[in-house]
C-alpha cells in the first residue's frame, strides 16, 4: 500500500468540507487551479489534525467504535508492503479515511452556527449585479431591465440564486413590458400583465387566471432574461415613475406653449 496516496483522502475531506460550509462554499465554487488546491490542503490538514486529537478519546469512550476500528485495521494491515510497519500503516489508513468522511458532517454541524444569509452576502459583495438581485428579491420590489435590443421589462425576481452556480440568466415575473424609443430612449410600455394576476410579489403563481385564460397561471408568464444581453437594470417604483410622467407632460406642454408664442 502506497502511504503517500493515503494523504489524498484528507484532501478530499477538506474539499468536501469547504464546498459545503457556508463560510467558504461560495468562494470555493468560483476558484480553480492552485487556489482551490491550496484551500483543500489547508482544510484537509486541519481536519486530519482534528481526527488525530479526537480519535483516542472516541475510542476510549465508545467500545463499538473501537471494535470497528480494530476490525478494519486487521483487514488493512496485511496489505502493507513492510510488515514491520503494518500496524502504523493501518492506523494511518483509519485516520485518513475518517478525515475524508468527517468533511461533510462537520460542515453541516458548523452551518448550524453560520447563517447562510450572512455569508452569502459576504461572498457576493463584490458583484454588483448579484448583490442587487439579492436585495430586490428579499425586499420584494420590482426591477426595470433594459435589454440590448431596447426591450424593457418591469417585474419581480422570482427565482432564488446560488453564487456557487454561474449566473447566465435571471427570471422575473413581468408586470409591464415595452421598449425604448430608438432616438429619445424614452420608455413606452405596451403590455400590462397586472391586469391578469395583480402586481404584488406574493401573488400565487400557480393559481389559474380568470376565464377565458383559466388554462394559464402567472407562472406561465415568467420571463428568462439572458444576463449577457442586459443593457441596464434598476429598481422600479411606480409612484415615482408616475410622478416623472406627470412632470414630463407638464414640461412638454410648457415647451409647446413657448414655441407657439414665439
Q: Which residues of the chain have pLDDT under 70?
A: 1-4, 30, 32, 76-87, 125-126, 160-167, 199-204, 247-262
Residues of the chain with CATH 2.30.30.100: 127-261
The cell 483522502 sits on which residue? 9
pLDDT score for 43: 92
pLDDT, position 129:
79
Q: Which residues contact 186 (CB under 8 A, 6 or more apart)?
A: 180
> What letter would DSSP give residue 192?
E
Give me the residues paired with residue 146 across strands.
152, 232
Q: Assess contact for 19 and 29: CB atoms under 8 A.
A: yes
Q: What is the pLDDT of residue 166?
A: 62
Which three three-digit cell numbers place residue 190?
A: 405596451
Task: Enter the C-alpha cell of residue 188.
Answer: 413606452
pLDDT for 258 equals 38
Under 8 Å between Cβ of 165 and 179 = no
Give the whole-angstrom CA distance, residue 168 versus residue 260: 51
Q: Which CATH number fits domain 127-261: 3.90.1150.10, 3.40.710.10, 3.30.43.10, 2.30.30.100?
A: 2.30.30.100
| Distance of alpha carbon 94 from the chain centroid | 35
Amino acid at each position: 500500500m502506497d502511504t503517500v496516496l493515503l494523504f489524498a483522502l484528507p484532501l478530499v475531506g477538506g474539499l468536501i468540507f469547504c464546498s459545503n460550509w457556508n463560510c467558504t462554499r461560495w468562494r470555493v465554487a468560483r476558484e480553480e487551479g492552485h487556489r482551490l488546491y491550496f484551500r483543500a490542503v489547508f482544510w484537509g490538514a486541519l481536519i486530519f489534525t482534528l481526527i488525530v486529537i479526537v480519535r483516542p478519546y472516541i475510542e476510549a469512550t465508545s467500545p463499538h467504535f473501537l471494535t470497528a476500528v480494530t476490525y478494519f485495521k486487521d483487514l488493512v494491515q496485511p496489505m502493507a508492503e513492510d510488515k514491520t510497519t503494518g500496524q502504523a500503516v493501518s492506523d494511518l489508513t483509519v485516520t485518513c479515511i475518517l478525515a475524508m468522511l468527517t468533511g461533510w458532517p462537520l460542515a453541516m454541524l458548523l452551518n448550524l452556527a453560520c447563517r447562510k444569509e450572512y455569508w452569502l452576502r459576504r461572498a457576493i459583495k463584490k458583484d454588483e449585479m448579484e448583490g442587487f438581485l439579492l436585495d430586490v428579491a428579499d425586499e420584494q420590489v420590482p426591477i426595470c431591465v433594459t435589454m440590448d435590443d431596447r426591450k424593457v421589462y418591469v417585474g419581480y425576481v422570482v427565482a432564488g440564486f446560488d453564487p456557487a452556480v454561474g449566473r447566465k440568466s435571471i427570471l422575473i415575473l413581468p408586470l409591464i413590458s415595452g421598449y425604448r424609443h430608438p432616438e429619445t430612449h424614452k420608455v413606452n410600455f405596451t403590455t400590462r400583465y397586472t391586469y391578469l394576476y395583480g402586481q404584488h410579489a406574493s401573488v400565487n403563481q400557480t393559481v389559474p387566471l380568470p376565464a377565458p385564460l383559466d388554462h394559464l397561471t402567472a407562472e406561465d408568464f415568467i420571463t428568462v432574461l439572458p444576463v449577457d444581453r442586459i443593457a441596464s437594470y434598476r429598481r422600479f417604483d411606480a409612484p415615482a415613475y408616475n410622478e416623472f410622467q406627470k412632470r414630463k407632460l407638464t414640461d412638454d406642454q410648457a415647451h409647446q406653449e413657448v414655441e407657439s408664442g414665439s
